[in-house]
Structures are given as structure tokens and as C-alpha cells.
Amino acid sequence: MKSIPLVTVITVVRNAEKTIQRTLVSALEQKNVSLEIIVWDGLSTDGTLKQIEKYRRQLTIVSQRDFGVYDAMNQALKIANGKWILFLNADDYFLSSDSLSLLLSEVGNTEFDYVCGCATLFFGLKKWPPKTLTDIDYFLGNPSNHQTYLCKKKVYDHLGGFNTQYKYAADVDFMYRVIQAGYKGLPVFKSIVNYSLGGLSSKNISAGVDELDKIRSNFLNSDLVFARESRLVFQDGLEFSEQFKSEVFSRKLSKTQKRFLDDFFKFNKSIESTSFIELNRKRFVRFMKNIAKKFVFFILKFIPSRYI
């Protein structure tokens, strides 16, 4: 009979009394999985701890001072006993009672070190799937939603957890380091978690994007200007010049990166090769998308933060 590996779900929280119960219940309802749940409370000043205490017999609860969300995650990792780790934010929740067992069944006893599912956003209207889980993601952005990222604890131990110099995107830095270290990941295109906008990074979008550009520049071995332009081209669809294309190919690239770039530039034209009408059509579409995005993040400023 196959043994079921222990999974540790870690929730870091401060002042989330209205959402923490839904998060914890969704974790406690997970079936067909050996489960440990650690809740790290950063000395909440509202009724959060009272909500958590309802489930004391089923959880490991720590309530003490920390130096930010990623420091809290690192501290919780030290007491985690699971072979696998998943971080579940204090206003996110598993979509079904089979979410964790689904991820575990995908990796089974294979050589994969981590597995990533999909997150849903905007009441299920939008899906956030994992990307390639290769060094191509240095160009494409966040490899996975962190709430669907089930990773072996030995990987966190080996890489030293999260880099706390980053305030908004240390999870992306960690996922990039996992790729860089050669660990094998498996994308699973099934919805696992509902991800609620309104957290630290989405309420500080400008600072978060700047931090992501800094992280990306480290992995692209570039300056911030090139990292930013890469984000705009490969993620946001900004038109690129022949000069940018030449600069990309002048860099030291892996085989996977070169194949990706060859295909990208094969199917996407530079500004110099695009007609005036088509160029302006693309710019209008991008302009409207940016307006919609700014409106969403404006609304998010009025939603209470889950972690301050």
C-alpha cells in the first residue's frame, strides 16, 4: 500500500478576521491527504486570532512578531514537518476538497520537485495558469500563482527559503531560483485555488512591478532598462524595435530561451515591419487593456489589506 506523504499548508496572516475562517475551513476539508496546517499570525489587532482559535485542535498556531510576510513564511517553514509545502494566503481558499490530492496525484512518485495548478480570479471569471516552469519564464513573468505552488520542503531548505530583501515579489524570486537550480516542475491546468485580489502586492502594484523588474534583471543578467523593456514586450505586448531584437539575441541564451525567442520573433513583427494601421490598432487595444487594469487596481485600494 502506498504511503501518503505529509503536506504542510502554511497560512500567514495579520488582520484578516473577515476571510481567515473561509481559508482555514477550505484547508481542513481537504480529503485523501495527510495534512498539517500551520497558521502564523503576525500579532493581529482585530478579531483574527479569535477566529483561528476556533480550530486550535486541528492547527499549529503561532502568534508572534515578524518582519514582514516573507519573514513570517520563512519562520513557519522552520517548524513545518511536511514533505510538501503549499502557502495559502489568508483570503484565498481551495476550490474543492480534492484540490491538494489532485496535485499530489499528478506528481505521484515521479521525479518532479514541484507541481503548479491554476488559480481563479474575479469570482471565477479569469483563470491564472502556470507558465513554462523553465528559464523562458524570466521573459514571461511569474511562473505560477504561489497559492497553487506545491513544492517539496527540501527545495525550500536547499535554497534558503525566501529572500526577505524583497517586500512584494520574493515568491517570484524563489520560483526563479528553483528553475535556475534545475529542479523539475510539472504544470497542471486544473483550477486549485481562488486567488483574491487585494493583498500586499496587488495593492502596491507600482512598487511590486518595480521589484519584479529588479528580480528579472538578476536572472536575465541585465540592467533594469532591458528587464523593463522585456516585460513590456513579452508580457504586455508592447511593439519592439529591430534594435531591441538585436539586443536580445546578442545576450547569452540557453537553448530553451533561444527556441522561444526564435518562435516569438518569427510570429511577431517589429515596429519597422508593421503597417501604420495595424500598429495603431494594437496600440488602441493595449491602451484599453491598461485602462481596465488601472480601474481594477484603483478599486482594490479601497479593499482592506490582508497583510500590512
In a domain, 166, yes or no: yes
Q: Which domain holds residue 295?
A: 205-300
- Whether 307 has a pLDDT exceeding 80, the answer reads no
CB atoms within 10 A of CB 299: 11
- What's the pTM? 0.88
Nearest partner of 115 among 106, 126, 125, judged by Cα: 106
Q: Specify whether 97 is located in the same domain as 19.
A: yes
pLDDT tens, residue by residue, 17-56: 999 999 999 999 999 999 999 999 999 999 999 999 999 9
In a domain, 1, yes or no: no
Which of 154, 173, 194 lies at the terminal end of a domain, its last residue? 194
Q: Specify whether 40 is located in the same domain as 162.
A: yes
Q: Specify whether 171 is located in the same domain as 248.
A: no
In this prediction, what percent of the chain has a pLDDT beyond 70? 85
Q: Specify whether 167 is located in the same domain as 285.
A: no
pLDDT tens, residue by residue, 237-261: 888 999 999 999 999 999 999 999 9
Q: Specify whether 32 is located in the same domain as 174.
A: yes
In a domain, 162, yes or no: yes
Q: Specify whether 129 is located in the same domain as 211.
A: no
Are the CB atoms for 121 and 171 separated by under 8 Å?
no
Q: Specify whether 189 is located in the same domain as 251.
A: no
- 178: cell is 528553483
Residues contacting 241, CB < 8 A, separation 6+: 270, 271, 272
Q: Specify whether 154 is located in the same domain as 215.
A: no
Spell out the long-range contacts of 52-59 with Cβ–Cβ below 8 A and sequence spacing 24 or more: 52/13, 52/20, 52/24, 54/21, 55/24, 55/28, 58/28, 59/24
Which of 134, 160, 194 lies at the terminal end of a domain, its last residue? 194
Q: Specify whether 217 is located in the same domain as 129.
A: no
Nearest partner of 227 among 236, 212, 216, judged by Cα: 216
Residue with cell 500598429: 279
Phi-psi region for residue 65, left (φ > 0), alpha (ψ -120 to 50) or beta?
beta
Nearest partner of 16 among 38, 49, 40, judged by Cα: 49
Nearest partner of 166 among 203, 200, 119, 115, judged by Cα: 200
The SS3 assignment for 99 reads: helix
In a domain, 132, yes or no: yes
In a domain, 262, yes or no: yes
pLDDT mean over 81-100: 96
pLDDT tens, residue by residue, 221-232: 999 999 999 999
In a domain, 308, yes or no: no
Which of 194, 225, 260 lies at the terminal end of a domain, its last residue? 194
Q: Specify whether 29 is located in the same domain as 99.
A: yes
pLDDT for 4 equals: 85
Nearest partner of 168 among 308, 46, 14, judged by Cα: 308
Say how many domains are in the chain: 2
In a domain, 306, yes or no: no
Q: Specify whether 168 is located in the same domain as 229.
A: no
Beta strands per DSSP E along the chain? 6-13, 34-41, 60-63, 84-87, 93-94, 114-121, 126-128, 149-152, 185-194
- Rounded-to-integer distance, Cα 21 and Cα 124, Å: 20
Confidence of residue 209 (pLDDT cuts 50, 70, 90): very high
Q: Specify whether 35 is located in the same domain as 88.
A: yes
Q: Read off the CATH number of the domain in which 10 is found.
A: 3.90.550.10
